[in-house]
């Protein structure tokens, strides 16, 4: 393909003017590597965008999608159905924690979050508790970009321009504090052992302030991914669960990043031993090959909403492409791949090596913190004075030039390798990240 003109595409979450002055175009991908327009290989250190656990161009997924488009290209899921959507929902329900076995399909994580929020509101109303309209999220949480997601999310820059349009929400403190009780703990391997009591704020401050009767749901990521891998202390999620149960609140896990293997279990709920009332998923479910997401809902919530006249939809919600045949084919094939290639066990096996590799970066210049869990790590750099995010952006660009795709929320560089990575691949990622950090450090000191 000829080099395209870059003007018309308004790129999402991208400094457009800067990108278009210095574009980074990828034109193909296989396994762990992207190929750039100028023929270089770039190691995918972020699974695309937390999506491509099974590696790029997986033949089984491609074949399944090809078969599907040749058989049934499109069918709406409004009042008609096709087998793929039912089959996918059954498979996901069987993989989810006990009690969560009803699946609403959507096309993205943002839609999954807004869908779960609507289900929570409708559930409250169906129980005669229509006053429950407040959502509790967490500072530095990310739940996509719908108005529900940005309201319950805790990323200031995603909210600032849209302030007046927010839903009612309040927020727990982030689970990350580099000076826990005055003790520096910037370099933590896995879950910190101290700090579960951060969850107590839900009861001591937020329920005390708003009253439980007002709260529709508590929505958190098992670990915060998009703000640089903020890992919850051991016991934190258990405490949130206990408080929610005690006060009759719905607990929702946003597993858009963690769902389908990132922590070596199908869901973080299983890896971390806490069962919420709803689970949001997207990204890895289709290996990124098609837009696909969803909400796994407890039978109890679902059944509460199965009422009213039988000829009317029980939930007035859905998207034209909910349960799209191609996305479902990709999802079903990905579930086969996860099973056939034993990807969950591979993640569990690789995670300790990954942890060791990312922590070797502790002595790279300007590194102030490293956190990791499963196959996810955040390597935080000291910001340039007065220009937060500048060092991260420079290191991210340099990493790409050195053959590594990483992400830089602010000044944190994120690694989230595909599940099929080998130990040697992980070492290469850490090495290229070190080179990128070193090569930009001096220039921005």
Residue number, 136 or 364, with CB nearest to ligand PLP? 136
Stretch that binds ligand PLP, among 165-173, 200-208, 249-257, 354-362 (CB under 6 A): 249-257
- Pair 105, 296: CB distance under 8 Å: no
Asked if residue 195 binds ligand PLP (CB under 6 A), the reply is no
Among 121, 155, 256, 295, binds ligand PLP (CB under 6 A): 256
- Pair 176, 223: CB distance under 8 Å: no
Residue numbers 50-109 binding ligand PLP by CB under 6 A: 108-109
- Pair 230, 371: CB distance under 8 Å: yes
Asked if residue 254 binds ligand PLP (CB under 6 A), the reply is yes
Stretch that binds ligand PLP, among 69-77, 221-229, 390-398, 427-435 (CB under 6 A): 221-229
- Residue 170 CB neighbour total at 10 angstroms: 15
Residue 165 CB, shortest distance to ligand PLP, in Å, is 18
- Pair 330, 65: CB distance under 8 Å: yes
Among 137, 154, 195, 225, binds ligand PLP (CB under 6 A): 225
Residue 107 CB, shortest distance to ligand PLP, in Å, is 8
Residue 385 CB, shortest distance to ligand PLP, in Å, is 29
Asked if residue 142 binds ligand PLP (CB under 6 A), the reply is yes
Stretch that binds ligand PLP, among 164-172, 250-258, 266-274, 315-323 (CB under 6 A): 250-258
Residue 15 CB, shortest distance to ligand PLP, in Å, is 18
Residue 111 CB, shortest distance to ligand PLP, in Å, is 7
Q: What are phi and psi of 236, to 5 degrees?
A: -65, -50
Residue number, 49 or 382, with CB nearest to ligand PLP? 49
Token representation of residue 290: 């098609």
**Whole-angstrom Cα distance, residue 43 to residue 61?**
21
Residue number, 267 or 434, with CB nearest to ligand PLP? 267
Stretch that binds ligand PLP, among 94-102, 136-144, 300-308, 423-431 (CB under 6 A): 136-144
Closest by CA to 419, choosing from 261, 223, 258, is 261
One DSSP character per residue, 199-265 reads GGHIIIIIIHHH-GGGEEEEEE-SSB-TTT-BPPPTTHHHHHHHHHHHHT-EEEEE-TTTTTTTTSS
Residue number, 45 or 403, with CB nearest to ligand PLP? 45
Closest by CA to 104, choosing from 301, 258, 237, 287, is 301
Q: What are phi and psi of 50, to 5 degrees?
A: 65, 25
Size of the site for ligand PLP (CB under 6 A): 14
Burial of 311 (0-12, 13-18, 19+ CB in 10 A): exposed
**Whole-angstrom Cα distance, residue 222 to residue 162?**
26
Asked if residue 296 binds ligand PLP (CB under 6 A), the reply is no
Residue number, 372 or 440, with CB nearest to ligand PLP? 372
User: Which residue is nearest to ligand PLP, using beta carbons?
Assistant: 109
Q: How far is CA 371 from CA 259, 415, 435, in A?
A: 19, 11, 19
**Whole-angstrom Cα distance, residue 384 to residue 363?**
18
Asked if residue 226 binds ligand PLP (CB under 6 A), the reply is yes
Residue numbers 274-293 binding ligand PLP by CB under 6 A: 282
Asked if residue 110 binds ligand PLP (CB under 6 A), the reply is yes
Among 143, 262, 407, 432, binds ligand PLP (CB under 6 A): 143
Interacting residues toward ligand PLP by CB under 6 A: 108-110, 113, 142-144, 221, 225-226, 254, 256-257, 282
């Amino acid at each position: 393909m000829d080099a395209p003109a870059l003007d018309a595409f308004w790129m999402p979450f991208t400094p457009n003017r800067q990108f278009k002055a210095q574009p980074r175009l990828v034109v193909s991908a296989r396994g762990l590597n992207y190929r750039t327009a100028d023929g270089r290989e770039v190691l995918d250190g972020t699974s695309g965008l937390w999506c491509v656990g099974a590696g790029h161009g997986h033949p089984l997924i491609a074949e399944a999608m090809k078969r599907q488009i040749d058989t049934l290209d499109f069918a709406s899921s409004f009042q008609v159905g096709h087998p793929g959507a039912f089959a996918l929902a059954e498979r996901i329900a069987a993989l989810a924690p006990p009690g969560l076995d009803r699946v609403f399909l959507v096309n993205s994580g943002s839609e999954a979050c807004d869908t779960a929020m609507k289900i929570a509101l409708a559930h409250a109303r169906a129980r005669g508790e229509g006053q429950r309209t407040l959502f509790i999220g967490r500072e530095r949480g990310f739940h996509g970009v719908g108005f529900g997601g940005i309201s319950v999310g805790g990323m200031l820059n995603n909210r600032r321009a849209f302030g007046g349009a927010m839903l009612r929400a309040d927020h727990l403190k982030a689970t990350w504090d580099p000076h826990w009780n005055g003790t520096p703990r910037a370099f933590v391997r896995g879950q910190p052992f101290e700090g579960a009591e951060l969850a107590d704020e839900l009861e001591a401050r937020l329920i005390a302030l708003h009253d439980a009767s007002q709260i529709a749901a508590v929505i958190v990521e098992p670990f915060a991914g998009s703000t640089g891998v903020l890992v919850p202390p051991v016991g934190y999620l258990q405490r949130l669960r206990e408080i929610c149960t005690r006060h009759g609140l719905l607990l929702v896990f946003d597993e858009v990043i963690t769902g389908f293997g990132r922590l070596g279990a199908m869901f973080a709920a299983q890896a971390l031993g806490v069962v919420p009332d709803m689970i949001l998923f997207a990204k890895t479910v289709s290996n990124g090959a098609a837009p696909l997401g969803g909400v796994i809902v407890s039978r109890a919530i679902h059944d509460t909403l199965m009422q009213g006249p039988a000829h009317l939809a029980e939930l007035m919600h859905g998207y034209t492409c909910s349960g799209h045949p191609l996305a479902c084919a990709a999802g079903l094939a990905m579930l086969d791949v996860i099973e056939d290639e034993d990807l969950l066990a591979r993640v569990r096996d690789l995670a300790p090596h990954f942890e060791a590799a990312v922590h070797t970066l502790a002595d790279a210049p300007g590194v102030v913190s490293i956190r990791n869990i499963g196959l996810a790590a955040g390597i935080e750099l000291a910001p340039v004075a007065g220009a937060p995010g500048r060092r991260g952006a420079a290191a991210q660009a340099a990493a790409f030039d050195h053959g590594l795709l990483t992400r830089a929320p602010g000044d944190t560089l994120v690694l989230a390798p595909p599940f099929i990575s080998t130990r040697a691949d992980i070492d290469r990622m850490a090495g290229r990240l070190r080179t990128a950090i070193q090569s930009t450090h001096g220039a921005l000191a």
